[in-house]
Structure 1
Amino acid sequence: MKHLHVDIETYCDLDVSDVGVYRYAEDDSFKIILFAYSFDGEPVTVIDCSRDEYPGESIPVRVWKALTDPSVIKIAHNTNFEYVCIETYYGIGLDLTQWFCTMIAAAYLGLPLGLDKIGQVLGLSEQKDSRGKSLITFFCKPCKPTKKNGGRTLNLPEHDLQKWNEFKEYNAQDVRTEKEIYRYVSRFPGLPGIEREYWILDQIINATGITVDREFIEAAIETNKRFTKDVHDEMVNITGVDNPNSLTQLKRWLLHELGHEIHSLGKDYLADAIDGALLPEHVERVLRLRQFASKTSISKYDTMLAYAQKDGRIRGLLQFYGANRTGRFSGRGVQVENPH
């Protein structure tokens, strides 16, 4: 079997950590800007895809063919990202069973998930380039318009060719690091058949996603806004403080009303104080309102809207081997396995 190692760098107006890879990759602003690859023992090649007109490089035919060739194993670290982005952006059908994920293989061996952390733990000769974070911020995310940068919101290669060349080397180094991780995990039996089947099922579940009721979610968010405002206004009316969300102001008011200092307004104190039924009625009401205001379950609705795609579904909600010591799944985004 041949092996094709792949790593891509992308640009999008959205932050993938806020919306998940499926929503990220379908956004109109999304693009693949660098495509690094290596066949078996060949050196790494980096293709500049940043703009069609700059500098006009294209992905070789043999790479295109390899992406859909069942006799070629496609290897990436966190395969889900490369798989989803390449399939969505280029509009080609990819077969997940032809892919191998070094992140999952490493997790099965009890190693960390991150490319950099694995390299450090194993003491690899090929380590992830530490410049990556700043380069990704520069080229993969919108930039703040300033007088100095001419008011632009996007950094292109010509805006800093030195950084761009560093970014291409960073992309290539990721492939070299991933290749060394693959050589390491290949010394072991790898994912047993049943575990690989579970991983493929996990990817199918993530790609299928679940439907969300956008109208209901938006109504719930709006209702919560009105409720929060009502709570805020009532606390202001009772306490007279400018900002009842301020711990300092609220504690000062409680000191005046109760005659002693309150050191904490955490949920445990609030529950105990209210259940004790020893508070003046107006103070108890303020503490109950404080309880209402501190609830955060509504944040799931915001996450659902952020993850929602054009077809009304949210995807990428599970992480296979997220807890790599036990092998159990972890949640991503909405955390659907946690109803609270």
Structure 2
Amino acid sequence: MKTLSIDIETYSSIDLTKSGVYKYTQNDFEILLIAYAYDDEEIKIIDLKNNEKIPENLKKDILDERIIKTAFNANFERVCLSKYFNTYLSPKMFRCTQVHALYLGLPHGLDNVAKSLRLKEQKLEEGKSLIRFFMKKENLDLLTSNSESIKKTEAIKKYEDFKKYCINDVRVERSIRKVLEKVKLPESEQKLWELDQEINDRGVLVDINLLKNAIYYDNIFKSNLIEKLKTITNINNPKSNNQMKDYLKSLGVEVNSLSKESVGDLLNSCEVKKNPHYEKIKEVLDLRAMLNKTSTKKYEAMKRCMCDDERIRGLFQFYGANRTGRWAGRLVQVQNLPQNKMSNLEEVREKIRNEINTNFPSRKKNFNYDFNINSYLYNQENLSDILSQLIRTTFIPKKNHRFIIADFSAIEARIIAYLSDEKWRIDVFNTHGKIYEASASKMF
């Protein structure tokens, strides 16, 4: 049975790195180029942007489950081609060369794998600049415009280089695959990757009302924090590290860093506690810590990568940790969600989820943040912390289903200790469980 190597170049106004491939393929997505080769045959390219057609035999083979398709990061080709043909392409008909490389402890990127293997065939360095160039719609439109200009001539020349780049990626991927095939990828790993693809394809549903309202409340809350900090400090931009350092210096406190750890140490230091302005310093730094809370940015990440059916897909990277094969979180990083410890979580969630439409006919940027929510919600508390605790609840099961939530503590460290029969580590987990402290003690 033949093997079909594929690489494609695409366009979409959606940012692939921030939104993921599933969101990327919506709206104005298009495939520009398809480079392909059967086994060791000559690599061919199809220029879809200039109206070249996919040969019927190739189309048939792409859709045929018996023909194995290979690509480096095959998820991208599979999802994009599924969109193009408007047909679900099963992961069972694909083999991912990236997964095979990661299984053998090699790097993530095609270029780095080729370098690590010291192959004759290497990824073309100008590829990144060509991708950036054709990510701009105005440059892409030059290819099919009627006008004759220097810009169009330059764009056509770059596009010819883009074709060579696409062809070369197939050549490099094929060379990598031939080397890696000397050590077969276990069937169990292929099955796991297929399961991973099904999980990422299915995605998870998002509570759109809660998502929108959480972003809105967070923006209002932080706008008010900024105004409050401006009033107290009289500086233009309370988010600016330099301006804040200058302000603290005027109060007799010099700092090199305003990181969370540094601020904690600063406020606990005896010298600063003796400062006559200590209460003001503490208030300002506490307000700034609320302003800079990063976990609520997950709401913005959810919004960026949510598909039209209100599902987020592509949240997991198979073999993200390539020494152990552990999955890694992508886009929203669901493997590191803040815990929710509120006793009245459901009540608070429903209040935030349903409040906005009835209570805010006028959405001004700055006004007193009386959200008309019970005092437990905002009574001098950090609203960002409350919203942070609600992040988990933004992911919801579909109708007549429920989520079972499990949080595996130090799962990787525990499993590796068990597999390697590292008795002292197993003893730590069986007793106090403080593996970091125990490891440091052994080291020093």
Normalising to structure 1: TM-score of the pair? Answer: 0.91
Residue 143 of structure 2: aligned partner: 157
**Is the contact between residue 10 and residue 30 of structure 2 (CA under 8 Å) also seen in structure 1?**
yes
| 1:97 counterpart = 2:79 | no
User: Match for residue 335 of structure 1?
Assistant: 333
Q: Is the 8 A contact 2:106 2:113 kept in 1?
A: yes
Who is 1:148 aligned against?
A: none
Partner of 2:16: 16
Bigger Rg over Cα: 2
Residues 34-61 of structure 1 show CA distances to partners (whole Å, capped at 9, x for unaligned) of 01111112100000001xxx3x311111
Pick aligned residue for 1:262 from 255, 264, 284: 255
* Cα offset, 1:269, TM superposition: 2.8
Counterpart for residue 49 of structure 1: 48
In the alignment, structure 1 segments of 5+ residues that lack a partner are 144-151
Alpha-carbon distance in 1 for matches of 2:90, 2:262: 54
Match of 1:234 in 2: 228
Structure 2 spans left out of the alignment, 5+ residues:
145-151, 339-444
**Aligned partners of 1:321 and 1:329 also within 8 Å:** yes
Inter-CA distance 153–121: structure 2 relative to 1 (3 Å threshold): closer
Please state how far the C-alpha of 1:248 moved relative to its aligned partner.
2.7
Which position in structure 2 is the counterpart of 1:312?
Answer: 310
1:247 aligned residue:
241
Query: 1:10·1:30 contact (CA, 8 Å) conserved in 2?
Result: yes
Partner deviation per Cα, 1:157-203 (whole Å, 9 max, x = no partner) = 3522221111111111111111111111111122x122111111110
AA aligned to 2:308 is K
Say whether the 8 Å CA contact 1:5–1:175 is kept in structure 2: yes
Distance 2:294 2:200 in 1: 25
Distance 1:332 1:189 in 2: 27
How far the C-alpha of 1:217 sits from its partner, in A, is 1.2
- Residue 149 of structure 1 is matched in structure 2 by none
Separation in 2, partners of 1:240, 1:93: 58
Instruction: Give the distance between the partners of 1:263 and 1:168, measured in 2 at CA.
Output: 50
Q: Which has the higher contact order (CA 8 A, sep 6+)?
A: 1
Amino acid at match of 1:5: S
For 1:130 and 1:247, how far apart are their aligned partners in 2?
A: 37
Residue-pair matches, total: 324
Equivalent residue number for residue 68 of structure 1: 63
CA contact (8 A) 1:12 1:142 kept: no
CA contact (8 A) 2:316 2:328 kept: yes
TM-aligned CA deviation for residue 95 of structure 1:
2.3
Question: Residues of 2 paired with 1:156 and 1:49: CA distance?
Answer: 15
Contact 2:34 2:45 in 1 (8 A): yes
Which whole-Å deviations, capped at 9, do the CAs of 1:65-120 have from their partners, x for residues lacking one? Answer: 11122331111111000000000122123221111110101111111121111111
Partner Cα distance (1:96, 1:263) in 2: 51
Alpha carbons 1:34, 1:49 under 8 Å: kept: yes
| Residue identity opposite 1:22 in structure 2 | Y
Residue pair 1:236, 1:242 contacting (<8 A) in 2 also: yes
Shift of 1:134: 1.2
Q: Tell me if 1:186 matches 2:185.
A: no
CA contact (8 A) 1:70 1:98 kept: yes
In 1, Cα distance between the equivalents of 2:263 and 2:227? 20
State the partner residue of 1:7.
7
Deviates more, 1:242-251 or 1:120-129: 242-251
Secondary structure, counterpart of 2:13 in structure 1: coil
Does residue 201 in structure 1 map to residue 195 in structure 2?
yes
Give the equivalent residue in structure 2 for 1:219. 213
Contact between 2:133 and 2:139, CA under 8 Å: does it hold in 1?
no
Alpha-carbon distance between aligned partners in 2 of 1:83 and 1:61, rounded to the nearest angstrom: 18
**SS across alignment from 1:337:** helix
